[in-house]
């Protein structure tokens, strides 16, 4: 088994794990919304339930699909080529994979961190800094996914390589 095969298997296992987590967390999201409804003593409209649960499922399934596609691209990756070009491609792929992880984790926790808008009229610095940190993580993840080659060149220059 080559490193390429092990990486593809690990990515597929990670995507299956994420799929299971999405399915298992839907009931806890419903319970969270019900608890928030009872705590506020206000009825949350049905479309909010549908929108939040649907959004959670769509984002989760999209992340699962993207990770599954990443596993397919690892298997399709050609092993031949010059050493420097292969290193750059593998570093680009690893940075993009890290960016996908940042995006998924920030999107998973961002709705929860914005929940204070519904439950409290008071805004503290903790309520503001937590979503800002997650938004920063989201933007870093997007930068890593869409502009990974720039980061590879920056890291090469920082290491003293032209």
pLDDT of residue 78: 55
Q: Give residue 139's pLDDT.
A: 92
CB-based contacts of 33: which residues, under 8 Å, 6+ apart? 44, 48, 49, 52
Contact 105, 78 (CB under 8 A): no
pLDDT of residue 42: 74
Q: Please report the pLDDT score of residue 120 as a whole number.
A: 64
Walk along the chain (162 residues) in steps of 10 and give the mean pLDDT of each run: 73 84 82 74 77 85 84 69 61 81 82 68 72 89 87 81 69
What b-and-e string marks burial along 60-90, b requiring 16 or more CB atoms within 10 Å of the CB? beebbeebbebbeebeeeeeeeeeeeeebbb
Confidence at residue 119, expressed as pLDDT on a 0 to 100 scale: 64
Quick one: tokens of 63? Answer: 């992340």
**The predicted structure's pLDDT at residue 136:** 92
The predicted structure's pLDDT at residue 65: 87
Crossing angle for the helix pair 83-113 and 125-146, nearest 10 degrees?
150
* pTM of the predicted model over 0.95: no
């Amino acid at each position: 088994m080559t490193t390429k095969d092990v990486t593809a298997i690990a990515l597929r296992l990670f995507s299956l794990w994420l799929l299971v987590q999405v399915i298992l967390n839907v009931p806890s999201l419903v319970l969270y919304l019900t608890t928030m409804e009872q705590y506020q003593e206000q009825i949350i409209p049905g479309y909010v339930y549908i929108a939040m649960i649907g959004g959670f499922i769509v984002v989760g399934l999209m992340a699962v699909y993207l990770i599954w596609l990443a596993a397919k691209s690892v298997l399709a990756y050609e092993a031949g080529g010059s050493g420097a070009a292969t290193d750059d491609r593998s570093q680009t792929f690893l940075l993009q994979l890290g960016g996908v992880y940042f995006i998924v984790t920030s999107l998973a926790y961002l709705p929860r961190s914005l929940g204070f808008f519904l439950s409290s009229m008071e805004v503290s610095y903790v309520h503001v800094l937590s979503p800002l940190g997650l938004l920063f993580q989201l933007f870093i993840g997007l930068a890593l996914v869409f502009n990974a080659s720039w980061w590879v060149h920056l890291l090469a220059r920082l290491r003293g390589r032209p």
